[in-house]
Amino acid sequence: MKLENLPNLYFVVSVLVPGFVYNGVFNNFVPLRQNKEKELIVLRFLTATAVNYAVCSPLIYLLLAGWILQGSQLGQAACWLLILFVAPLVLGLLHAGIVQHGGAAWFYKLVRLRPISPIPTGWDWIFSRTLPCYVLVTLIDGTEIAGFFGASSMASSDPERKDLFLERLYTVPDDGAAWVPATRSLGIHIDGSQIAFIEFRSTHD
């Protein structure tokens, strides 16, 4: 299919773009297992597009039937912009919020089912939902790194390479007292391959 042909371009936009927007927004908040097969990626986009059109079907019917905005090309264009771009964005945000807050856990509990998490690793799971907190990172060689994971911190979601940036660094006194902020520190980057385990804390004392 050549996109130089205007009808083909309209077809691709209407069929793939809503699903692309939906999945792009969703994956910003919920990392999923990566499928490298093109067919599965396209199927994911098509499924999201179908959901988007199902939700928007009343508005689409009214537009195509000419019951609303029949004499306003600008109004119709705004509606299609809403359907193709805004609606999948909102649906992606809602879906991500539902998954991050446990989804349909109440229903699974009711029917005594234990669902398999769509999130590929514990690393992705905890860093996709953790609130700002203090962390104590223990490296493979036994070194401990204390820091704060907040809005300016980052945990990689790249399946090939895990790393961690902590925006604030602390020193841990030997006597077990409260952590002391490191002077002149702008944060610390930690190679994920060197991490043995991470303890998450609500306080630094």
What CATH number is given to the structural domain containing 192? 2.30.30.100
Query: What DSSP state is assigned to residue 142?
Result: S
Q: What is the number of structural domains in the chain?
A: 2
Hey, is 168 helix, strand or coil? Answer: strand
- Mean pLDDT score of the chain: 86
Q: Are residues 71 and 145 in the same domain?
A: no
pTM of the complete model: 0.67
CB atoms within 10 A of CB 2: 6
Q: Are residues 95 and 147 in the same domain?
A: no
Q: Are residues 31 and 71 in the same domain?
A: yes
Measured between alpha carbons, how far is 150 from 3 in angstroms, rounded to an integer? 44
Q: Are residues 66 and 147 in the same domain?
A: no
| Site of tokens 């961690």 | 164
The residue segments making up the domain with residue 27 are 6-105
Of residues 133 and 30, more confidently modeled: 133
| Whether residue 145 has pLDDT greater than 70 | yes
In a domain, 116, yes or no: no
The arithmetic mean of pLDDT across residues 181-201, rounded, is 93
Which of 89, 105, 121 finishes a domain? 105
In a domain, 115, yes or no: no
In a domain, 21, yes or no: yes
Question: Percent of the chain having pLDDT more than 90?
Answer: 46
